[in-house]
Structure 1
Amino acid sequence: MPTHTLRKRLQDGETSVGTIQVVDSPQVSEAIGVAGMDFVIFDQEHGPLTAETSLAMAAAAQVGGAEPIVRVRTNAEHEIQRALDIGSAGVMIPQVETQADAKAAVNAARFAPLGERGLSQYVRAGEYAGMNEYTKRQNEETTLIVQIEGERGVENVQEIVAVEGIDVIFLGPYDISSSLGIPGQVHDSEVRELMAEVCDVAANSETIVGTFADDTEMAQQWIEAGAQFVAIGVAAAHLTWQLESVVDAIDR
């Protein structure tokens, strides 16, 4: 299994771009890597994916050259443990609103002495037969991403970024827009101001910022604002849009 390098690249100041996958297909996961994307987020929160389906997809993504990240359904210890045991490079935790939420995520994602992640090295992450310094390597290589998706999370961002063990604060523009009463209006000034506020806090605390962008133009805007981890669109939507452009280009 390749060494997970996403966390180190982010710590070194590099910008990583990827996409979100909701369809159950290892071939799509591999193609995302072959296309040159740095990572792919397997969205178990908003799709049918499970730990079982995500395991095969993680293997395929790594063959293609993309780091697999699992977005779990909830900030629950058993969900986070399973997401990491399958050999993913990291885990994304939705709806983190308080420092207590952030500490719970770290506790579940990190092995002792940094946390209390349940230990079995006879899993894909441990190359099935175990490996030397397994827990140390997992703590060093696992990327922990927490999502701030509403006003309450923004209000508590100072306390959240103060929690040791978090790598990326990920801003969900669609959920932020919903929390402001303007669902879907991700370009509204209120949404942009809240997100910019978090970017400033993160920069002052040397915390990495991530976000979702509908397209490359939106992605570039947030990269220029300081985001280093940017998920651009959803793979199924990219496929649909590309096929639509092919159909529209044919004169029948």
Structure 2
Amino acid sequence: MQMPVNAFKRALREGRPQIGLWSMLCSNIVAEIVATAGFDWVVIDTEHSPNELPSVLQQLQAMQIDANTATPVVRPAWNDPVLIKRFLDIGSPNLILPFVQDAEEARRAVAATRYPPHGIRGVSMSQRANRYGLVADYHARATEELGVIVQVETLTALDRIPEIAKVDGIDGIFIGPADLSADAGHLGNSAHPEAQAAIMKGLQACKAAGKPCGILAPVEEDARRYFDAGFTFVAVGVDQGLLTKATRDIVKRFRSHIGRS
């Protein structure tokens, strides 16, 4: 059996814009639906949603289907080698690691994804990532098809993007707009000019370092603007937000139709 190709990692390396979705509903059925919608990448979030290893496994299984066009990305709750090891073993081809503050934390993130002697990832000879032992060259080639993205979420980390970007094994840098805005003194208001200036500062630092830069932008106008500015990978929606809006919109329309407020 051949090593699966990580289309998302290759696209980032080539600088091709990638349309993403954030998934927080903890459902394998939702994962199956959004995986075939045409997104390039889908984040299975475990930091701010009640996702645990078994449910993430089910979602990864649901996304591995013939018509799938989306590459999974798992966000662990923290930059923790134990969490990283477990998500890699169940077959996540990409990780987005939160709250990386400097180059040393970025190096630790990469080390947790690499087998010895290049890192500290624990070795299992047969798990879902290597199709239960059927991918014969998995351990030799795992690094080739594994994407590591680190999140920059504070003003301090923003200033350290040049050194973070130099860490070997970092495939992309993700600007966390909500936490960055909060750190800039504008909690819940990433549209504030100072928050936007910080976001764009991060983008320019990534460009200067030659690293693809990503962001979450569930407001369509923002997502378009970020793509136009040069962000390579943008999550243009959140599954629970889409469901919330769609259900309320249809109720509003039919209440109006029958004369109810």
Q: What is the Cα deviation at residue 130 of structure 1?
A: 4.1
1:223 aligned to which of 222, 227, 237: 227
Q: Per-residue displacement from partner, 1:182-204 (whole Å, max 9, x unpaired)? A: 10111111111112112112112
AA aligned to 1:57 is Q
AA aligned to 1:174 is A
Could you list the runs of 5+ residues in structure 2 that have no partner in the other structure? none
Q: Is the 8 A contact 1:40 1:61 kept in 2?
A: no
Q: Is the 8 A contact 1:6 1:89 kept in 2?
A: no
Q: Is the 8 A contact 1:121 1:130 kept in 2?
A: no
Name the counterpart of 2:17.
Answer: 15
User: Within 5 A, what are the aligned runs for 1:121-136?
Assistant: 121-136=125-140
User: Within 5 A, what are the aligned runs for 1:1-252?
Assistant: 2-63=4-65, 64-112=68-116, 114-250=118-254, 251-252=257-258
AA aligned to 1:161 is A
Using structure 1 for the length normalisation, give the TM-score: 0.95
Q: What is the Cα deviation at residue 163 of structure 1?
A: 0.5
Q: Is the 8 A contact 2:114 2:120 kept in 1?
A: yes
Q: Distance in 2 between matches of 1:13 and 1:154?
A: 21
Q: What is the Cα deviation at residue 136 of structure 1?
A: 3.4
Equivalent pairs counted in the alignment come to 252
AA aligned to 1:242 is A
Q: Per-residue displacement from partner, 1:94-121 (whole Å, max 9, x unpaired)? A: 0001111101100001234543322213
Q: Distance in 1 between matches of 2:205 and 2:140?
A: 30
Alpha carbons of 1:113 and 1:9: their partners in 2 closer, same or farther (altered >3 Å)? Answer: farther
| Max Rg structure | 2
Q: Distance in 1 between matches of 2:142 and 2:241?
A: 33
AA aligned to 1:229 is F
Q: Is the 8 A contact 2:175 2:199 kept in 1?
A: yes
Identity over aligned residues, as a percent? 33
Q: What is the Cα deviation at residue 155 of structure 1?
A: 1.7
Alpha carbons of 1:15 and 1:61: their partners in 2 closer, same or farther (altered >3 Å)? Answer: same
